[in-house]
Copies of this chain bind each other. A is one copy, B any other.
Amino acid sequence: MDLHILDHRLRVTSISKSGLEQYTHPLIKLIFLRNRTRCKFFSLTETPENYTVVLDEEGFKELQPSEHLQVEGSTWLPLNVVSNGNASSSSQAVGVTKIAKSVIAPLAEQHVSVFMLSTYQTDFILVREKDLAVVVETLAEEFNVFREEGGESVPVHSQDACNGLQRNGREVPHATVHPVLIPENHFCVMSLDPDTLPAIATTLIDVLFYSNRSKEDASVDQDMECIVFFSFSLIDGYISLVMDTEAQRQFPTDLLFTSSSGELWRMVRIGGQPLGFDECGIVAQISQPLADSDISAYYISTFSFDHALVPEEDLASVTEMLQTQRMSS
């Protein structure tokens, strides 16, 4: 399999809930007006805490500093695994599960923090630019590594990247087991032809900037604990949307598409307290057991918490798995 280091230098930022209004102008530009920006990697995820915005340097220029904008200090690079047809894996699973053992686990062992961003099209593994040498050396064992530069894929050899660099120790990190939350919403992972984006513009603007779905909506039914979660990304011209079925009902049914199985996903939110960016092994902790059971999963990191999406029908076994993990820790 091939691993591509994509040609984007990313910043991971967070806009406070009350600051969204102030950032409406640049965000609408980045989402809808492709001719007005050179940003090629843009992702916006609303959670109850804030809006996580991951974007390249061209996009980042659009965000004026303010008390409402938090910026993680590093530059992050997105990695992408490309199965080139002869993959030996017999797994039918999709998402982060496919790369749990080949990418996530080895990086966790090397104490490399990752920020995951699953989309409809693929799963991006974001690593800090300063960790690149370790990443390349670690993953070169399993992958042909390429660096994309100006449209070309250039092979990278581990010695190129980690020349003179000490590899981190090989011990498995003693990861904290974080509490998880399993909200009641059902999610779909969808896409959209970029040319039809204008047709859903007002709905998308409404949902992203004006919905302010409060917890009161959920408290109508006391048994139902729903979470506010909506993710939009526009990366290299591809659009991905993750939303719950309630939000989905607001969109025209004929424009958004999902995988043919049309499955619904349940969320496992990881973290009782904001996770920060330095802890390693959080993704590994969830994705390893999922991979062992060949359960598909999308995985979306945000500024404060991590979010795994698993198929509705696998939720019972995932819950059991997580309970076992928590009892044994």
Which of A's residues lie within 8 Å of B, judged by CB?
Answer: 20-22, 24-26, 28-29, 32-33, 36, 197-199, 201-203, 205-206, 209-210
| Min CB gap A252→B, angstroms | 10
In Å, the complex CA distance between A252 and B205 comes to 21
Q: Which residue of B lies closest to A20 (CB)?
A: B25
Q: Return chain B residues, CB-CB under 8 Å to A25.
A: 20-22, 24-25, 209
* Given the contacts A21-B25, A25-B21, A28-B28, A33 and B198 also touching, CB distance less than 8 Å: no
Q: Return chain B residues, CB-CB under 8 Å to A197.
A: 202
| Min CB gap A15→B, angstroms | 13
| Min CB gap A226→B, angstroms | 21
Q: Which residue of B lies closest to A21 (CB)?
A: B25
* Given the contacts A199-B198, A199-B199, A205 and B32 also touching, CB distance less than 8 Å: yes
| Min CB gap A220→B, angstroms | 20
When the two chains form their complex, are residues A206 and B33 in contact, meaning their CB atoms are under 8 A apart?
yes
When the two chains form their complex, are residues B210 and A29 in contact, meaning their CB atoms are under 8 A apart?
yes
Q: Return chain B residues, CB-CB under 8 Å to A20.
A: 25
In Å, the complex CA distance between A33 and B206 comes to 7
Q: Which residue of B lies closest to A26 (CB)?
A: B21
28 A/B residue pairs, CB under 8 Å, sorted by A = A20-B25, A21-B25, A21-B26, A22-B22, A22-B25, A24-B24, A24-B25, A24-B28, A25-B209, A28-B28, A28-B205, A29-B210, A32-B202, A32-B205, A32-B206, A33-B202, A33-B205, A33-B210, A36-B206, A36-B210, A198-B199, A198-B201, A198-B202, A198-B203, A199-B199, A201-B201, A201-B202, A201-B205
| Min CB gap A185→B, angstroms | 22
In Å, the complex CA distance between A206 and B202 comes to 13
Q: Return chain B residues, CB-CB under 8 Å to A199.
A: 198-199
Give me the 5 closest cross-chain CB pairs, A-B, nearest first: A21-B25, A24-B25, A198-B202, A201-B201, A24-B24
Q: Which residue of B lies closest to A29 (CB)?
A: B210
Q: Return chain B residues, CB-CB under 8 Å to A203.
A: 198
In Å, the complex CA distance between A210 and B32 comes to 11
Q: Return chain B residues, CB-CB under 8 Å to A32.
A: 202, 205-206
In Å, the complex CA distance between A197 and B203 comes to 12
In Å, the complex CA distance between A121 and B95 comes to 54
In Å, the complex CA distance between A156 and B32 comes to 49
In Å, the complex CA distance between A198 and B200 comes to 8
Q: Return chain B residues, CB-CB under 8 Å to A28.
A: 24, 28, 205, 209
In Å, the complex CA distance between A25 and B199 comes to 20
Q: A33-B206, A36-B206 are in contact. List 17 more A-B contacts (CB 8 A).
A: A20-B25, A21-B25, A22-B25, A24-B24, A24-B28, A25-B25, A28-B205, A28-B209, A32-B202, A32-B205, A32-B206, A33-B210, A36-B210, A198-B199, A199-B199, A201-B201, A201-B202
In Å, the complex CA distance between A29 and B22 comes to 14
Q: Which residue of B lies closest to A200 (CB)?
A: B198
